[in-house]
Structure formats: structure tokens, C-alpha cells
Amino acid sequence: MFDRHRRLRKNQAIRSMVRETILTPDDFIYPIFVVEGENIKKEISSLPNNYHFSIDRLDEIIKEVVDCKVKGIILFGIPEHKDEVGSDAYDDNGIIQKAIRKIKELAPELYVITDVCMCEYTSHGHCGIICGHDVDNDKTLEYLAKIAVSHAKAGADMIAPSDMMDGRIDAIREGLDENEFKDIPIMSYSAKYCSAFYGPFREAADSAPQFGDRKTYQMDPGNIREAMLEIQSDIEEGADIIMVKPALSYLDVIRWAKDRCDMPVAAYSVSGEYAMVKAAAKMGLIDEKRIALEMLLSIKRAGADMIITYYALDAAKWIK
Ligand SMILES: [Zn+2]
């Protein structure tokens, strides 16, 4: 006598009835890169089929997102001007602030999340204010709060800090609350690892550090208990959603977070995860659609309630 597990795999109908995890467009958040200038739609060479858009060309991509039934986007800005303190990041007429206003005009119902960090805006490419040879944690906090408030003022629906400074959720929450943005939620990049998978993004966002690396603020890939400490701090400080980044090599961290926190968990399937599939598909080594959907499914099965992915639009079309 033995169990016959194959009984429930006999045909498509029964397989679909017993399927435990199903992808829908509601699972996805699509990253969009915005640049200064006019009439720009330029493919990002490290991220095939993803583009830099100037604000006047955002209409076509926003229409595509809405048509795909993807409900949320996350915005990254590439400013014209960089300086030591990333002042374009909190300028009410900065690239992101202008982009938010435009998108809210084009599609008021589309959920606009903004990445809050300084690396795209600082001349040194680090995620905060530099003191000596390292980022000064506490000095950076006031800037992060200023950036978040200016995004909220421009109409952002949710703020997503990715800098990995200690105390940033507390500082941002306080900044938002003091400026009558009590209802704006924070999605925290809580467990953000110092990962080689970010490589292609740095070209996309022009945010590679000009000296040193990010190991003093991003997490060591060998650590999982530390991820829980980061997540706990963020929850105590007022985060509404916690995030694990990258996704594919950190499915165990996603599952840990899901099992231990009664809070939505987001996962960021990063540029390197996407670029590897694209490259392998181009070489004819894999079936891009099946691989991409299986990756996304595994991230959801691991416990992610939402997935930031460069495949958002393709996946939404594929699963229709
Ligand atoms: Zn950064």
C-alpha cells in the first residue's frame, strides 16, 4: 500500500483545481525610470526592453501598465544635476516630483510608489551624506525625511526607502506625519542585501558608488537572523510593508519574514535576475516565458504578497 499522488495530476482540469499558488497582475509592481529632457524613450542596454523615459513620453508606458491591469509602479529618477547632498532628490521640481504629477494626471487610479534614496542624486553615488569615507547615518535621516515629504506633496501614494540607514522609517514617518501625510504608507526595503545582482540597475539609474562599496549599510548575504532584526526595527518604527531584496537568491528570507511577521511582504526581483534570463533567452538556452513565470511563482510561493519586477508587464500579458 502506498499513496498515489499522481491521481491529482491526471489532467489540466484537476491540476488547476489543486494548484496552490497562482500569479495575477495584482501581484506585480513595475519599475519605471524617468530622465530629464524631451522626447526621450531610450532602451537601457543592461535591462533589455526597459527604457529611460522623459516626462513627455510617459503617456505610452503608463497606458501600457494600465492596459496590462498592473496596479502599481515604482519610480526611479535620474536627475540632470548631482551634488554632494543630492539636492534634486527633495526639490519640489525635481525629476521624480514632476513625474508623479504627470502620472497622476494621466492615470489617477494607478498606484504610485516612489523609491526614496540618494544614490541617483549624489555626485559620489552613495545612499546618504558622506562624512570622511563613509555615509553619516544620522545626518542622512533628515534628508530622507525631506525627500519623502516632497514625494508625498507631489502626490505619491506610497514611500519606499531603500537606503538602509538605521532609524530611517522613524524619521520618514515623523516627517510625513508632521506634514499632514499620516495616511501615506511606507514600504521599507528592510532586508536589502549587498548584492552583485544589482549590477544592471546601476547603469540604468547611473548610481554606482564613485568610491568604496555599500557594505557598511547594506546587509551581508550570509545573514538571515540579521534580516529579522532589520525587519523588527522597521515594524517598530512604523513600516506598513516590509521588503526583501533581491528575491531569487533570498527565497528563504522571504519565507522567514512571511512566517514571523503579520504584515505584507514585498520582494524585489532585481535587475540581475531579469538580465540573466534575458541573456540566456537571447542565446537560445532557455524558454524565457516559462522561466520568468516560474521565477515569479517561486517568489510568491515563498511568501511574497507583491513582487517588484521588470517582467511585470510581460508576465501580466502572459498569464492573461
Ligand atoms: Zn541608494
Q: Is 215 a catalytic residue?
A: no
Positive or negative: CA dihedral 43, 56, 85, 220: negative
| Helix locations, the chain, DSSP H | 12-18, 58-67, 95-106, 137-154, 168-178, 199-205, 225-237, 251-260, 271-282, 288-302, 312-318
Ligand 1 centroid to Cα of residue 117, in Å, is 5
Whole-number pLDDT of residue 125:
92
- DSSP helix/strand/coil, 111: strand
Q: Which residues, 6+ apart, have CB-to-CB distance to 85 below 8 Å?
A: 118, 122, 129, 143
List the catalytic residue out of 82, 102, 245, 300. 245
Whole-number pLDDT of residue 207:
84
Whole-number pLDDT of residue 202:
85
Q: Is 192 a catalytic residue?
A: yes
Ligand 1 centroid to Cα of residue 126, in Å, is 6
pLDDT tens digits along 267-293 = 999 999 999 999 999 999 999 999 999
Ligand 1 centroid to Cα of residue 13, in Å, is 46
Whole-number pLDDT of residue 133:
87
Q: Which amino acid is at 62?
A: I
Ligand 1 centroid to Cα of residue 221, in Å, is 17
pLDDT < 70: residue spans in the chain:
none
Number of Cβ within a 10 Å radius of residue 159: 28
Give CA–CA dist 6/18, Å, rounded: 12
Whole-number pLDDT of residue 206:
84
Helix (H) or strand (E) holding 187: strand 187-192
List the catalytic residue out of 82, 98, 102, 192. 192
Ligand 1 centroid to Cα of residue 162, in Å, is 6
